[in-house]
């Protein structure tokens, strides 16, 4: 059984994450999406909310499950009897940090390898922090996140504001 762990904050999950999850799941028998519990980072969504949102988002992918962890990633990977850490790479700016993390983790757990998937070009600009910023300012994040995430962001920030100076006709 080839099992991989895809760790992240997922605060909230974006279409960029979902693309990595879908492509990653096709490469392994089981993919564990592992939500980092790091209260010091003051996430917008609680750990339970992030898990719930992810679980709804990946429900169509039978070999993907959602879990949470705190502490060392390699300890969690070993506990789950996984041998692969899955990561997504956007720009060169991601590379330096991820390269260091991969080397550190290999040092801590030589039996675990990190596999990187390149982002799809249409998701290269997506990050959870920019999604939160756009939503908090009343912008639309449709096509950047799953529709359930859009709904959850509206619950946090209120419905999307009308564009300033434009009257938008709505169909009834």
List residues near ligand ADP by CB under 6 A: 8-10, 14, 16-17, 20, 87-90, 94, 119, 123, 126-129
Q: Where are the alpha helices (DSSP H) in 58-146?
A: 73-79, 92-108, 128-136
Q: How many CB atoms lie within 10 A of CB 23?
A: 14
Decide whether 46 or 161 has the Cβ nearer to ligand ADP. 46
Contacts of 144 (CB under 8 A, 6+ apart): 14, 15, 126, 131, 134
Which tokens belong to 16?
Answer: 């960029």
Question: Looking at 90, 106, 130, 160, which residue is catalytic?
Answer: 90
Query: Which is nearer to ligand ADP, 111 or 121 (by Cβ)?
Result: 121
Identified catalytic residue from 9, 50, 51, 128: 128
What is the closest distance, in whole angstroms, from the C-beta atom of residue 75 to ligand ADP in the complex?
18
Q: Look up 41 and say whether it is catalytic.
A: yes
Handedness of CA 71, 51, 31, 9 (dihedral sign): negative
Nearer to ligand ADP by Cβ, of 70 and 163: the residue is: 70
- 70 within 8 A of 104, measured Cβ to Cβ: no
Closest approach, Cβ 88 to ligand ADP, in A, equals 2
Q: Which of 17, 50, 123, 152 is catalytic?
A: 17
- Please list the active-site residues: 17, 41, 90, 128
């Amino acid at each position: 059984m080839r099992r991989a762990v895809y760790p992240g904050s997922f605060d909230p999950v974006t279409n960029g994450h979902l693309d990595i999850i879908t492509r990653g799941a096709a490469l392994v028998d089981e993919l564990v999406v592992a939500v980092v519990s790091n209260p010091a980072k003051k996430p917008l969504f609680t750990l339970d909310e992030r898990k719930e949102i992810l679980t709804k988002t990946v429900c169509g992918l039978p070999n993907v499950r959602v879990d949470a962890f705190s502490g060392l990633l390699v300890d969690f990977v070993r506990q789950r009897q996984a041998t692969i850490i899955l990561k997504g790479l956007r720009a060169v700016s991601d590379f330096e940090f991820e390269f260091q993390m991969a080397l550190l983790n290999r040092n801590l757990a030589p039996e675990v390898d990190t596999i990187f998937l390149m982002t799809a070009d249409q998701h290269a600009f997506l990050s959870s922090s920019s999604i939160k910023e756009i939503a908090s300012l009343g912008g639309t994040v449709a096509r950047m996140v799953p529709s359930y995430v859009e709904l959850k962001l509206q619950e946090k920030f209120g419905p999307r504001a009308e564009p300033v100076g434009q009257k938008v006709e709505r169909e009834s």
